[in-house]
Chains A and B, each alone.
Chain A
Amino acid sequence: MTTTAASRQAMGRYGEDVAARYLIDQGLAVLERNWRCSEGEIDLVLRDGATLVACEVKTRHDDAFGTPHQAITPAKLDRLKRLAARWIDERGIRPSETRIDLVAIRRPRRGPAVVEYVRGLS
């Protein structure tokens, strides 16, 4: 099967929808989706009680290029932290804590998708 830019985007979009629903079920509130700035993008910005959560969503068919977890390199984690700080600056909100989460979605070509939620990457 070939992948095109459109199919990749659709895949990402699907993953973000699944992740948002999953996190809402977990009791988090979605503040913003796909927030962009010059440095990059936060897939989901959420509130978990008094904590601001910047959530990265990774959707994969399989682990041929590594697991979603392995895609979060130290550099990527740093960037997510900077993005969260910029988001806070821009919105003028003062959360007591900030956290970076990961939702890893494995969507095999057959069968149901599997969602794994990693609360707090560090």
Chain B
Amino acid sequence: MPVATAHCVALSGAVGHLVDVQADVSPGQVGTTLVGRVDPSLHEGRERVRMAIENSELTWAGTTKRVTVLLSPADLPKSGAHFDLAIAVAILAATGEVDPRCLQDTAFIGELALDGGLRSVAGVLPMVLAASKRGVQQVFVPEPQAREASMVPGMTVIGLRSLNQVVAALTGDELPEAMPVPPLSAGRYLAWRGSARLDDVDMADLIGLDEVKYAVEVAAAGGHHLLIDGPKGCGKTSIAERIPTILPDLTGSESVELTAIRSLAGLLDPALGMAVRPPFSAPHHDASKASVVGGGSGRVRPGELSLAHGGVLFLDEFPLFRTDVIEALREPLENGDITVARGEEAVTLPARSMVVLAANPCACGNRVAQSRVMCTCTAVQIRDYKKRLDGPIADRIDITRHLTPETFTRDRLGRQETSAIIRARVAAARLRQAERYAEHDWRLNAHVPSAALREFWPLEPAAQAVVDAEIASGRLTRRGAVKVHRLAWTVADLTGADVPGTGEAGVALGLRLGSSLPSATVKMERVG
């Protein structure tokens, strides 16, 4: 039989397509053709596969036969070097070196080097996930990525080092020796305050700041976005960095999603296994749009926004971010996913993180009433800065906190709550939400659609009246009112109230509008 089919996976963002790699080896004018909308990196695979087969001392049929390789579905654009192994195996099966029946329900992922060695590729986990959904039961991957592929339940993973080993495994022969495969070399770029430092931080490090700590607790409990502004050095960054410490572990699906995103970005450390702790991502304000929301030439690389999925995306000095980056955050802030459209393909990636923005009150950072240092900004600078602060993003932020010098002059000595204690309360509040929304596909208050909120989970009438009065006075927009509604539920979930009443609504309004909170609320949690 001169035709054989091997399987591989084409990724476009979070969507994986099972691709049939079909090879035909028949008499005719010699040559190798690769068809099925392949991009240049894949087209070069013809040469890699040919040399890999020849240098593996296997028979390369292309010297006397016509070799045609089709990657179907033929209209799906395909890119990446990870098809090499499937192409090589399909050709070898078509020439009879391997029994074509061995290739059923099996996927082959890996790039080939000229000596026949396998090379690691990015995105193995999402590929194997996609293959598993389409009934593939066995997958061949480069050796260092076997662990990553094994995270998919029910999949038989065979991690090997070379094409010769793959052929031996398929024919049942003893595996030949081969050089080890180097792991994928990729690193984070454009990141600061890396995650490594965060293992040692704790909320207890911060003295005072009760109001903002409470706001952070509410944000963590309900998944709300948060804006902290205040003069420089008052603790904005310190607070933000400690938010992941009060977040509970990722849920099962979040964990798979985040691990898949890391794999796509080539950042997965297989030794660490599945992602468990919520990520913290803090791109510098000079970061490009592609690095924050995802994109890039060739394959779409997940941005910091997606790498923070299930955790915290912290934008320090957010008015200094480039306008296109800020504008691009609008939709993901509301929807929890990001669609990067380029040319003919649109790639959607999950991006459901808590966004935390920090800003100075002005460009020089001293423009606070009580500050002893004079603000040196010009009127124009102040106006421009204010415009950025109050832009479309600010309206999509649920909670606003202004840190003032007073907040930290009120510091008292004494034992501060540790992150573990706060995390327990956040977990309890999240559990209440999970039970309430058990039949729906959202889990946190921040993600409940407004229509469902009004219909099934209204505020107490008196509380609604308080919110309505704020709308009437013009202090609150309609979108703001929905956010207050969600916040009121989170406040209620933290206190254990069944329905948010006027008290919860008042706290929610304070959080939304950035006014000071009743100190009883802020202290309440700490009594017990």
| Interface, chain A (partner B; CB < 8 A) | 63, 66-70, 72, 74, 77, 104, 116, 118-122
Residues A67 and B30 in contact, CB atoms below 8 Å apart: yes
Q: Is B28 an interface residue (CB 8 A)?
A: yes
Residues of chain B within 8 A (CB-CB) of A67 are 30, 63-64
Residues of chain A within 8 A (CB-CB) of B30 are 67, 69-70, 72
Q: Is B194 an interface residue (CB 8 A)?
A: no
Contact of A122 among B28, B63, B64, B65 (CB under 8 A): B28
Residues of chain B within 8 A (CB-CB) of A122 are 28-29
Residues A118 and B27 in contact, CB atoms below 8 Å apart: yes
Chain B 79-99: CB-based contact to A (< 8 A → 1; otherwise 0):
000000000000000000000
CB distance from A92 to the nearest CB of B (A): 30
CB nearest neighbor in B for A104? B64
Residues B27 and A70 in contact, CB atoms below 8 Å apart: no
Residues B28 and A118 in contact, CB atoms below 8 Å apart: yes
CA distance A74 to B29 in the complex (A): 8
CB distance from B419 to the nearest CB of A (A): 69
Residues A120 and B63 in contact, CB atoms below 8 Å apart: no
Contact of B29 among A104, A119, A121 (CB under 8 A): A121
Chain B 48-77: CB-based contact to A (< 8 A → 1; otherwise 0):
000000000000000111000000000000
14 cross-chain CB contacts under 8 A:
A67-B30, A68-B64, A69-B63, A69-B64, A69-B65, A72-B29, A72-B30, A116-B64, A119-B27, A120-B27, A121-B28, A121-B29, A122-B28, A122-B29
Residues of chain B within 8 A (CB-CB) of A120 are 27-28
Given A67-B63, A67-B64, A121-B29, list of 17 further CB < 8 A pairs? A67-B30, A68-B64, A69-B29, A69-B30, A69-B63, A69-B64, A70-B30, A70-B63, A72-B29, A72-B30, A74-B29, A104-B64, A118-B27, A119-B27, A120-B28, A121-B28, A122-B29
Residues of chain A within 8 A (CB-CB) of B65 are 69
Residues A77 and B64 in contact, CB atoms below 8 Å apart: no
CB distance from B124 to the nearest CB of A (A): 37
Residues of chain B within 8 A (CB-CB) of A70 are 30, 63-64
Q: Please give me the 9 A-B residue pairs with the lowest Cβ-Cβ distance, nearest first.
A: A69-B30, A118-B27, A69-B64, A67-B63, A121-B29, A67-B64, A70-B30, A72-B29, A121-B28
CB distance from A119 to the nearest CB of B (A): 7
CB distance from A48 to the nearest CB of B (A): 15
CB nearest neighbor in B for A121? B29
Chain B 1-42: CB-based contact to A (< 8 A → 1; otherwise 0):
000000000000000000000000001111000000000000
Residues of chain A within 8 A (CB-CB) of B27 are 118-120
CA distance A40 to B279 in the complex (A): 73
CA distance A120 to B66 in the complex (A): 12
CA distance A68 to B65 in the complex (A): 11
CB nearest neighbor in B for A119? B27
CA distance A28 to B64 in the complex (A): 23
CB nearest neighbor in B for A116? B64
Residues of chain B within 8 A (CB-CB) of A121 are 28-29
Residues of chain A within 8 A (CB-CB) of B29 are 69, 72, 74, 77, 121-122
CB nearest neighbor in A for B63? A67
Among B390-412, those with CB < 8 Å from A are none
Residues of chain B within 8 A (CB-CB) of A74 are 29
CA distance A66 to B64 in the complex (A): 9
CB distance from B503 to the nearest CB of A (A): 84
Residues of chain B within 8 A (CB-CB) of A104 are 64
CB distance from A62 to the nearest CB of B (A): 12
CB distance from B340 to the nearest CB of A (A): 41
CA distance A67 to B28 in the complex (A): 13
CA distance A69 to B63 in the complex (A): 7
CB distance from A79 to the nearest CB of B (A): 13
CA distance A74 to B65 in the complex (A): 14
CA distance A74 to B27 in the complex (A): 15
CB nearest neighbor in B for A68? B64
Residues of chain B within 8 A (CB-CB) of A77 are 29
CA distance A83 to B349 in the complex (A): 59
CB distance from A54 to the nearest CB of B (A): 14
CB distance from A114 to the nearest CB of B (A): 11
CB nearest neighbor in B for A117? B27
| Most A-side CB within 10 Å, residue of B27, B28, B29, B64 | B29
CB nearest neighbor in B for A63? B63
Residues of chain A within 8 A (CB-CB) of B64 are 67-70, 104, 116
Residues B63 and A66 in contact, CB atoms below 8 Å apart: yes
CA distance A68 to B30 in the complex (A): 10
CB distance from B59 to the nearest CB of A (A): 12
CB distance from A8 to the nearest CB of B (A): 22
CA distance A70 to B66 in the complex (A): 10
CA distance A74 to B31 in the complex (A): 10
CA distance A74 to B64 in the complex (A): 15
CB distance from B352 to the nearest CB of A (A): 55
Residues of chain B within 8 A (CB-CB) of A68 are 64
CA distance A74 to B66 in the complex (A): 13
CB nearest neighbor in A for B29? A121
CB distance from A44 to the nearest CB of B (A): 18
Residues of chain B within 8 A (CB-CB) of A63 are 63
CA distance A104 to B65 in the complex (A): 12
| Most B-side CB within 10 Å, residue of A69, A72, A119 | A69
CA distance A70 to B65 in the complex (A): 9
CA distance A109 to B63 in the complex (A): 21
